[in-house]
Copies of this chain bind each other. A is one copy, B any other.
Amino acid sequence: MEADNNDISTIDKLRLAVQSEDRQLAHSYLNELHPSEIALLLESLPGKELDMVWNLLDPDMEGEVLSEVQDSVRARLLEQIHPHELVAITRDLDSDDIADIIQDLPEDMHDSVLLAMDVQNRQRLASLLSYPEDVAGGLMNVDVIPVRADANLATVSRYLRFLARRDGIPEQTDNLMVVDRDNKYLGLLPLTTLVTSDPEQTVGEVMVQEAAIHPDLPASEVANMFERRDLVSAAVVDDDNVLLGRITVDDVVDVIQEKAESTVRSMAGLGTNDNVFSPILVSSRYRAVWLGINLLTAFLASWVIGRFEESIQQLVALAVLMPIVASMGGIAGSQTLTIAVRGIALGHITSFNARVFLNKELGIAVINGSLWALVVAIVAMFWFDNRGLGIVIGLAMIINLLMAAIAGVLIPLIMNRVGIDPAVAGSVVLTTLTDVIGFMTFLGLATLYLLN
């Protein structure tokens, strides 16, 4: 495809330069891009071109790009980087970003990277590496500025100026963390308070009491907390209230983004490593499993149809119309299921109000079921000139939509209670049910009332 070079973005110009293997041109475009844009580009390049762009990158950009790219791309890049080089290019990153990168390394390389660091950094990172990625501890960084409650604000300001000259102030520092002599967390000192209060006051007099987070809290609950309370950063403390680190909103935004991504993916039966340009065999494997599960349920539906072979032979119109009943049940059921899955995730549906929700969904099924059953019945009657057939398909459809509503409410509630993620498994179970019930009621009613 041709395009006018003036109209397209720097990313696409770079893409063209890479495709034509013009390294010099590619390098010049690369310097115009933000690390996050380079990460985006790398994620959208096939393997060979990806390696070429990575090798053209200036070493002082590599660390930030590495911390921004998706896991699958990062894994590929990490294979090409020597531990000492990795330590050098990640030196200026936030501690949680370094920990994330190390966690993506093969186990046997963890230690060589940690050993290549100086002692202080190694100790800071070791504490972060002990938490899985999906809990508060895994989101935490140790780039906090602790202050004592008995210090006065003028002292704190001097200390900050000293820190700024020595290490720089960590990004997204909106609060300093107030601790006692044993590093136990007492509260927050917002920078806005520091700037606007009398310098002679003590930290303890002006600090804010804000609840801290336990490192084992699931990442999704951390996200809910940040969203509901409009936080920029929050303290993380252990069982003894000792300050371990802090979580900043940029990491929470990533959690929310990834959670949304993973709901959409799991509803389609896609693995987490299945991206636009991931290797064919990686993508095939997870998808094959999902197709296999679906095949089993399809055979189940076929088996149900097989029970009615004789009826179909007598009245072929049944074979022509039966997919309609099954398909409408599947669509209506997915609508209820989606509302239920999101309602449970957001805490809107609990065992105390599930019945009200079920009644509402049944009401919708009655209205929409009757409406479209009538349409289907009339079409079927005229198409096959068979009044009984119209009545049977209409009835089957109303029954299937009612069952779909019940299944759409109960399946996620039951799965949630036994600890299965309804976003992953809910739709397979639901469509199996609506297929089986759809074929069974339609073919069964037809056999009973239309044939002899």
Q: How far is the CA of A164 from the CA of B298 in the complex (A)?
A: 66
Contact B228 A37 (CB under 8 A): yes
Chain copies in complex: 2
Contact A320 B338 (CB under 8 A): no
| Contact segment of A78-86, A124-132, A369-377, A444-452 | A369-377
**Given the complex, which residues of B lie within 8 Å of A372, measured CB to CB?**
288, 291-292, 295
Taking a contact as CB atoms closer than 8 A, the residue among B172, B256, B265 that contacts A338 in the complex is B265
Query: Could you give, for residues 368-398 of chain A, a 1 whenever the CB lies within 8 Å of some chain B CB and a 0 otherwise?
Result: 1001100110010000000000000000000
Query: Could you give, for residues 284-296 of chain A, a 1 whenever the CB lies within 8 Å of some chain B CB and a 0 otherwise?
Result: 1001101110110
Interface check A77, CB cutoff 8 A = no
Q: How far is the CA of A325 from the CA of B352 in the complex (A)?
A: 42
Interface check A309, CB cutoff 8 A = yes
**Given the complex, which residues of B lie within 8 Å of A276, measured CB to CB?**
339-340, 343, 348-349, 357, 360
Interface check A216, CB cutoff 8 A = no
Contact A368 B284 (CB under 8 A): yes
Q: How far is the CA of A169 from the CA of B46 in the complex (A)?
A: 49
Which residues, 330 to 378 on A, are CB-close (under 8 Å) to B? 331-332, 334-335, 337-340, 342-343, 346-353, 356-357, 360, 363-364, 367-368, 371-372, 375-376
**Given the complex, which residues of B lie within 8 Å of A10, measured CB to CB?**
none
Which residue of B has the minimal Cβ distance to A164? B196
Contact A324 B348 (CB under 8 A): no
**Given the complex, which residues of B lie within 8 Å of A11, measured CB to CB?**
347
Contact A379 B320 (CB under 8 A): no
Query: Could you give, for residues 240-268 of chain A, a 1 whenever the CB lies within 8 Å of some chain B CB and a 0 otherwise?
Result: 00000000011011101101110111011
Contact B320 A309 (CB under 8 A): yes
Q: How far is the CA of A196 from the CA of B12 in the complex (A)?
A: 41
**Given the complex, which residues of B lie within 8 Å of A306, measured CB to CB?**
320
Contact B302 A12 (CB under 8 A): no
| Contact segment of A22-30, A110-118, A311-319 | A311-319
A287 with B368: in contact, given A195-B157, A195-B160, A252-B253 (CB under 8 Å)?
Answer: yes
Taking a contact as CB atoms closer than 8 A, the residue among B12, B331, B352, B368 that contacts A15 in the complex is B352
| Interface residues of chain A: helix, strand, loop or mixed (majority) | helix
A363 with B44: in contact, given A294-B328, A316-B312 (CB under 8 Å)?
Answer: no
A291 with B352: in contact, given A161-B196, A260-B256, A338-B265 (CB under 8 Å)?
Answer: no
Interface check A103, CB cutoff 8 A = no
Tell me, rounded to whole Å, the shortest Cβ–Cβ distance linking A124 to chain B: 20
A229 with B298: in contact, given A192-B173, A280-B364, A313-B313 (CB under 8 Å)?
Answer: no
What is the total number of residues of chain A having a CB less than 8 Å from a CB of chain B? 122
Interface check A171, CB cutoff 8 A = yes
Contact A350 B40 (CB under 8 A): no
Taking a contact as CB atoms closer than 8 A, the residue among B267, B347, B351 that contacts A40 in the complex is B347
Query: Could you give, for residues 128-167 of chain A, a 1 whenever the CB lies within 8 Å of some chain B CB and a 0 otherwise?
Result: 0000000000000000000000000000010011011000
Q: How far is the CA of A288 from the CA of B435 in the complex (A)?
A: 20
Q: How far is the CA of A276 from the CA of B194 in the complex (A)?
A: 44
- A interface, CB within 8 angstroms of B: 1, 3, 11-12, 15-16, 19, 34, 36-37, 40, 43-46, 68, 157, 160-161, 163-164, 169, 171-174, 191-192, 194-197, 226-230, 232, 249-250, 252-254, 256-257, 259-261, 263-265, 267-270, 274-277, 280-281, 283-284, 287-288, 290-292, 294-295, 298-299, 301-302, 305-306, 309, 312-313, 316-324, 326-328, 331-332, 334-335, 337-340, 342-343, 346-353, 356-357, 360, 363-364, 367-368, 371-372, 375-376, 379, 435
